[in-house]
């Protein structure tokens, strides 16, 4: 089924093999003996325990070619999963704070996006994320650094440690981004309370909510998200691995769809959470018998609706999706 992926941190697609290869290429020594030892450390109890390892893994990225290789690895996997459009989050502060020039980050990713289009037919966009555990001043400085490369990204997001870092901490920098004509999204309601979803909408004026699964704790908020058709980029395997849900059978994806929300399925940090986008679909559908072909179609359709591309492009992908389902129905 053709689909768009709208919630993928490109640094979260760095597989252990690639981490070791980049460490060797860059003359760095990792505190893990081998790929298996690193993978064994991927047992998370919450968002922070994951982020600590995720930022350490990203430490092997130094050169433009490293960013290119990472993203090209991702695009090849995305193509195998029938992803026709991907909106990639990247975390410049994770790299610039280590002395990596922001140009190396953005240009390396951009070249991978170009190759993905040319060789795999995948369309893509870049979304610059601010780290919410750092200050708003640091976010503003990062935005200013990135502005000469403004034509290479379409929007900004907000990620990293959610609890204790509410969206309103970034009110000014998001206002500036909106003035610049950038799309705006934010992680909210993953570990943080439903009130963070509300303030992401009201204060940051975001167009999509990343995760947002805790919205079901507030029925009025669910109604609002449905009424305003605010997309949620849900990541089931991430929710499982970060202990947001005890098991996939307890995931509220069916409730979100039943409430008429524009929910989508995405991989978040696939190298760390045990699967790419199709693994997220397959494992979630396996665990939840209420989910069937109708919901798969709806989720893929929602992913196109929620993407940051012109309406004509969305319509073309939706028609492609309908053709795939019509063909499958004929064959059945
Ligand atoms: N949540 C917050 N920050 C992140 C995530 C996430 O799931 N992945 C990478 N950075
Ligand atoms: Zn995320």
pLDDT tens digits, 197-256: 999 999 999 999 999 999 999 999 999 999 999 999 999 999 999 999 999 999 999 999
Of the pLDDT bands very low, low, confident and very high (cuts 50, 70, 90), residue 108 is very high
Query: Counting atoms of ligand 1 from 1, which one is nearest the CA of 162?
Result: 2
Q: Which two tokens stand for residue 3?
A: 């689909």
Structure tokens belonging to residue 214: 């805790």
Active-site residue set: 190
Q: Which ligand is nearest to the CA of 233?
A: 2
pLDDT tens digits for range 30-70: 999 999 999 999 999 999 999 999 999 999 999 999 999 99
Q: Average per-residue pLDDT in the chain?
A: 98
State pLDDT tens for residues 116-172: 999 999 999 999 999 999 999 999 999 999 999 999 999 999 999 999 999 999 999
Beta strand 183-188 with 263-265 is unpaired
Cβ atoms of residues 274 and 264 within 8 Å: no
- b/e per residue, 28-48, with b = 16+ CB within 10 A? eebebeeeeebeebbebeebe
State residue 332's pLDDT score: 84
What's the pLDDT score for residue 96?
A: 98
Task: Looking at the CA of residue 129, tell me the nearest atom of ligand 1.
Answer: 10
Q: What are phi and psi of 97, to 5 degrees?
A: -70, -15
Strand partners of residue 211: 188
| Tokens 């503003």 -> residue | 140
- Ligand 1: which of 42, 50, 132 to mutate, most ligand atoms within 8 Å of CB? 50
Proximal ligand: closest to the CA of 90: 1
**Which residue reads 């900004």 in tokens?**
156
Strand order in the sheet with 123-131: 3-9, 83-90, 123-131, 155-159, 183-188, 208-211, 232-234, 263-265
User: Residue 294 belongs to what H/E stretch?
Assistant: helix 293-305
Kindly give the distance from the C-alpha atom of residue 198 to the centroid of ligand 1, in angstroms, as a whole number: 19
Q: Which fold has domain 3-312?
A: TIM Barrel (3.20.20)
Which ligand lies nearest the alpha carbon of 242?
A: 1
Alpha-carbon distance 117 to 123, whole Å?
6
Question: Locate tokens 């943080």: which residue?
Answer: 192
Q: Is 246 helix (H, G, I), strand (E, B) or coil?
A: coil
What atom of ligand 1 comes closest to residue 269's alpha carbon?
8
Q: How high is the pLDDT of residue 174?
A: 99
Tell me which residues have their CB closer than 6 angstroms to ligand 1: 9, 12, 47, 54, 159-160, 187, 190, 238, 268-269
The residue whose CB lies within 8 Å of the most ligand 1 atoms, and thus the one to mutate among 7, 268, 271, is: 268
> What's the CA dihedral at 64, 70, 76, 77 to 10 degrees?
-160
Q: Is the pTM of this model over 0.95?
A: yes
Give the model's pLDDT for residue 287. 98
Contacts of 272 (CB under 8 A, 6+ apart): 12, 42, 44, 50, 53, 54, 57, 241
Closest CA to 218 of 162, 170, 259, 178: 259
Nearest Cα residue to atom 4 of ligand 1: 160
To test ligand 1's pocket by mutation, which of 269, 270, 274, 280 has the most ligand atoms within 8 angstroms of CB?
A: 269
Looking at the predicted structure, is the pLDDT value of residue 86 above 90?
Answer: yes
Rounded CA Rg of the chain: 19
Which residues, including other chains, have CB under 8 Å from residue 197's CB and lie 6 or more apart?
188, 189, 209, 212, 214, 215, 221, 225
Q: What is the mean pLDDT of residues 259-269?
A: 98
């Amino acid at each position: 089924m053709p689909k768009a992926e709208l919630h993928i941190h490109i640094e979260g697609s760095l597989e252990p093999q690639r981490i070791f290869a980049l460490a060797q290429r860059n003359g760095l020594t990792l505190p893990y003996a081998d790929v298996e030892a690193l993978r064994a450390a991927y047992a998370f109890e919450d968002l922070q325990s994951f982020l600590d390892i995720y930022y350490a893994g990203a430490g092997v990225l130094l050169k433009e070619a490293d960013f290119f290789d990472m993203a090209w690895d991702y695009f090849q996997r995305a193509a195998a999963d029938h992803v026709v459009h991907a909106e990639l989050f990247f975390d410049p502060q994770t790299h610039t704070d280590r002395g990596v020039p922001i140009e190396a980050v953005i240009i390396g990713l951009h070249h991978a996006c170009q190759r993905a289009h040319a060789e795999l037919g995948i369309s893509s966009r870049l979304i610059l994320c601010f780290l919410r555990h750092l200050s708003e001043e640091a976010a503003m400085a990062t935005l200013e650094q990135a502005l000469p490369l403004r034509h290479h990204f379409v929007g900004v997001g907000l990620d990293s440690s959610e609890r204790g870092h509410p969206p309103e901490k970034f009110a000014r920098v998001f206002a500036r981004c909106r003035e610049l004509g950038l799309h705006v999204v934010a992680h909210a309601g993953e570990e943080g309370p439903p009130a963070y979803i509300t303030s992401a909408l009201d204060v940051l004026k975001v167009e999509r909510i990343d995760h947002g699964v805790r919205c079901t704790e507030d029925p009025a908020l669910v109604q609002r998200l449905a009424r305003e058709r605010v997309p949620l980029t849900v990541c089931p395997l991430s929710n499982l691995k970060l202990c947001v849900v005890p098991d996939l059978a307890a995931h509220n994806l069916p409730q979100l769809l039943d409430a008429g929300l524009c929910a989508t399925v995405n991989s978040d940090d696939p190298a760390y959470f045990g699967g790419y986008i199709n693994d997220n679909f397959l494992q979630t559908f396996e665990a939840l018998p209420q989910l069937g072909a109708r919901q798969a179609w709806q989720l893929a359709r929602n992913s196109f609706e929620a993407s940051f591309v012109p309406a004509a492009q969305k319509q073309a992908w939706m028609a492609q999706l309908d053709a795939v389902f019509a063909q499958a129905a004929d064959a059945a």
